[in-house]
Amino acid sequence: MSLLPPHVARRAEIVVDLAAIRHNVRLLAGEIGPDVALMVVVKADGYGHGMAQVAAAAREAGAPWLGVATFDEALALRAAGDTGRLLAWLTVPGEDWAPVVAADVDVTAYSLADLDQLVDAVARAGRPARLQLKIDTGLRRGGSLPADWPALVAAARAGEEAGHWRVTGIWSHPASADDPAHPANDAQEQVFRDALATAEEAGLRPEVRHIANSAATLLRPSMHFDLVRVGIATYGLDPAPGHTRDLGLRPAMSVEATLAMTKRLAPGDGVSYGHTWVADAPVTVGLVPTGYADGVPRHAGNTAHIGVAGVRRPVRGRICMDQLVVEVAGEGEEPAVGAGDRVVLFGSAPDPTAQDWAEACDTISYEIVSRIGGRFVRRWTDSERDS
């Protein structure tokens, strides 16, 4: 992936364990049982883990479906050699649907305008499409509003009868599945059931009806229907902290860097821009050669922790563009690390996790893993196969 020479790769790395992905996929498949299909969502470069690598690992672990947002992502997966069922769901007017139809991707229509584009694409692709319809059951993001749904299903059925496509799926997306007591869950499930009934009356017989994301998969079995779309849980992160039980998911990503130097501070020394942290005792700090240009959130300044020789140590002062400072030893402690030693920004316990970073930065783990990148070099390992 990287054009940099290998010695540069050691400066700061994102290490992805593909065995963890396979483990999580198998665990989730066991959770939903044999009658529900699993779709592993690999959009956004596999939530920062590497789309093609995650896709291959997910297929190997038995995932029958993959999901992506954009056509570009779908075509990139096909170019990487993936031939299984694959759903894409985010387009803008004027995009060309023909290449994805030709590539055997299930496409999603939100509106009659989407169906018009698809009719044209099918003619050019020279083969019928696999079409899924999205109903907006309450998220008020993409999808057909319930008021527009009867017209959409009628047109979809007419197109099916005309041989343009087969309607393979009907789906929606929950707004608050990470909060099981939220009234939107019951409300959305009911709207979805009504929309399915309307589609059935119109003559549609979709293979897969689906609404669940990771949180609904783990917390709301009544939302499983025929298929669940699992993203964050595949990567070993908790979709609903505080609500889920410990399933044994394993974080696949570990973000690591080599200390550029360490130094001893005197009481009164301020650290990094603005001196927002001032040592009140003689402590030792380490220079971590990565920063916000690499996707390390600037909000982590003075709040997040870094794994140093298996101990969580505080980030001191502001995160800079290329660097940050971590306290590696407190007063009276001998530092366990020095220049050249590896530290872990986030990964798996006992090191801090992406969830710990999310809490420190007032965000969600999804944002932490999907934004990390920049000059980090990504490397894929396999803890079950590497010696």
Ligand X SMILES: *Cc1c(COP(=O)(O)O)cnc(C)c1O
The type of residue at 137 is T
In the bound state with ligand X, the residue whose beta carbon lies nearer, of 322 and 367, is 367
In the bound state with ligand X, the residue whose beta carbon lies nearer, of 164 and 229, is 229
Q: Answer whether 368's CB lies under 8 Å from 361's CB.
A: yes
Residue 245 structure tokens: 């039980």
Quote the CA–CA distance of 120 and 378 in Å, as a whole number.
Answer: 40
Distance in Å, CB of 67 to ligand X, minimum? 6
In the bound state with ligand X, the residue whose beta carbon lies nearer, of 173 and 209, is 173
Residue number with the smallest Cβ distance to ligand X: 231
Q: Answer whether 235's CB lies under 8 Å from 16's CB.
A: no
The residues that touch ligand X, with contacts defined as CB under 6 A, are 41, 43, 89, 173, 213-215, 229-232, 239
Q: Which residues contact 268 (CB under 8 A, 6 or more apart)?
A: 278, 279, 280
Binding-site residues for substrate sit at: 141, 321
DSSP lists the bridge partners of residue 284 as 264, 329
DSSP lists the bridge partners of residue 280 as none
**Cβ neighbours of 165 (radius 10 Å):** 24
**Cβ neighbours of 45 (radius 10 Å):** 17
**Cβ neighbours of 349 (radius 10 Å):** 11
Quote the CA–CA distance of 58 and 49 in Å, as a whole number.
Answer: 12
Query: Which residues does the annotation mark as catalytic?
Result: 43, 273
Distance in Å, CB of 296 to ligand X, minimum? 22
β-pairing, 311-316 with 261-265? unpaired
Binding-site residues sit at: 141, 321
Distance in Å, CB of 51 to ligand X, minimum? 13
Distance in Å, CB of 234 to ligand X, minimum? 8
| 3-state SS, residue 328 | strand
In the bound state with ligand X, the residue whose beta carbon lies nearer, of 104 and 367, is 367
